C-alpha cells in the first residue's frame, strides 16, 4: 500500500513532520520508504494513512524525567514497536539539536505533545490534508485549559512578534490556531533528521529527495551530506518570536540555488 500527504516543502515544520511520519511507518511496517514529489510526500508500507494516524493516537507519550516537565525527554511507546522511540534531540549539543528547541520558560514538553496528540482525535486528520487542519488545542487532563504548540509550523511564526501584527500575541498571552499534526510529527521527525547548521546563527538548511528512501538514510540526506537527483535545498531561521529572546519559531524557508 502507499499513502500520500499534501505538504508545503518551504514550511520546515511540515517537512520534518513528513520525516516523522516515515519514522513511524517504518516502526509499524518495517521496510517503509518515503519520498517527495511536487507538493506531496508519499510513503509505501503495509498500512495506510488512517492506520498510521490511529497508531500515533494510541501511543503513550511518557515523561522520562519526572522532575523536569519543561525539558524532559519523551518516550513514545506502542505495542507494535519493537523498541520504544526516545525523543531527546533538544538535549543534543554536538549535532546541533539544542539550537532547534523552540519552547522555553514554563512551556512543558510532554504536556504540549499530549495536547497535540489529543487534538488529532478528529476525522479531519485521517486524510492527506492533515497538515492543513488548524484548531485550538486543549489539555486532555483539563479540557478547560488551552495549550499553545511548540511553534514548529511556519504559519505561526510571522504572527508571533509585535512588529508583524502591531502587538505580540505571546506577550498578551493570546491563544491562536495550532496545526497539531505538524507540531507532533515534527517533534518526532527531528529525532533522526536534523537540518544542517550554517555559518550564521539560527539558520539551517534541509533537503528534500525524490527517490524512495528508508529512514536510516535520512540522517545523511536531510542535511545535504548525501544528495540524489531531484534533491532540493531550503534554508530557514529558528527565529526569536518574543522580545526576551527565549521563545523561538520556525520561519518559512527559502529555496537554495541549484548547484
Boundaries of domain holding 73? 2-255
**CB of 208 closer than 8 Å to CB of 110:** no
Q: Which residues contact 95 (CB under 8 A, 6 or more apart)?
A: 89, 194
pLDDT of residue 94: 81
Residue 166 has pLDDT above 50, yes or no: no
Q: Strand 40-44 vs strand 60-63: parallel, antiparallel, or unpaired?
A: unpaired
Cell representation of residue 244:
526576551
Mapped onto helix, strand or coil, the DSSP state of residue 96 is coil
Q: Does residue 102 sit in helix, strand or coil?
A: coil
The pLDDT tens digits for 98-122 are: 999 999 888 999 999 999 999 999 9
* 60 vs 228 pLDDT, higher one: 60
By the 8 A CB rule, do 152 and 107 touch? no
Question: Residue 257 pLDDT > 70, yes or no?
Answer: yes
* Domains identified in the chain, total number: 1
Amino acid at each position: 500500500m502507499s499513502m500520500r500527504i499534501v505538504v508545503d516543502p518551504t514550511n520546515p515544520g511540515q517537512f520534518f513532520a513528513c520525516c516523522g511520519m516515515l519514522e513511524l511507518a517504518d516502526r509499524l511496517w518495517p521496510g517503509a520508504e518515503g519520498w517527495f514529489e511536487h507538493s506531496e510526500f508519499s510513503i509505501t508500507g503495509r498500512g495506510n494513512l488512517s492506520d498510521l494516524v490511529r497508531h500515533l493516537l494510541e501511543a503513550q507519550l511518557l515523561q522520562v524525567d519526572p522532575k523536569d516537565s519543561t525539558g524532559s525527554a519523551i518516550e513514545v511507546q506502542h505495542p507494535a514497536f519493537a523498541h520504544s522511540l526516545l525523543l531527546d534531540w533538544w538535549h543534543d549539543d554536538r549535532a546541533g539539536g539544542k539550537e532547534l528547541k523552540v519552547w522555553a520558560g514554563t512551556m512543558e514538553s510532554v504536556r504540549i505533545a499530549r495536547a497535540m496528540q489529543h487534538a488529532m482525535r478528529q476525522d479531519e486528520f485521517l486524510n492527506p490534508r492533515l497538515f492543513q487542519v488548524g484548531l485550538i488545542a486543549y489539555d486532555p487532563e483539563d479540557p478547560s485549559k488551552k495549550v499553545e504548540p511548540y511553534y514548529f509550523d511556519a504559519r505561526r511564526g510571522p504572527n508571533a512578534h509585535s512588529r508583524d501584527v502591531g502587538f505580540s500575541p505571546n506577550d498578551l498571552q493570546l491563544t491562536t490556531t495550532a496545526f497539531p499534526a505538524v507540531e507532533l510529527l515534527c517533534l518526532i521527525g527531528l529525532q533522526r533528521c536534523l537540518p544542517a547548521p550554517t555559518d550564521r546563527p539560527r539558520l539551517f538548511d534541509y533537503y528534500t529527495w525524490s527517490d524512495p528512501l528508508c529512514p536510516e538514510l535520512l540522517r545523511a540526506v536531510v542535511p545535504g551530506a548525501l544528495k540524489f537527483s531531484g534533491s532540493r535545498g531550503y534554508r530557514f531561521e529558528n527565529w526569536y518570536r518574543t522580545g526576551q529572546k527565549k521563545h523561538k519559531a520556525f520561519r518559512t524557508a527559502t529555496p537554495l540555488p541549484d548547484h
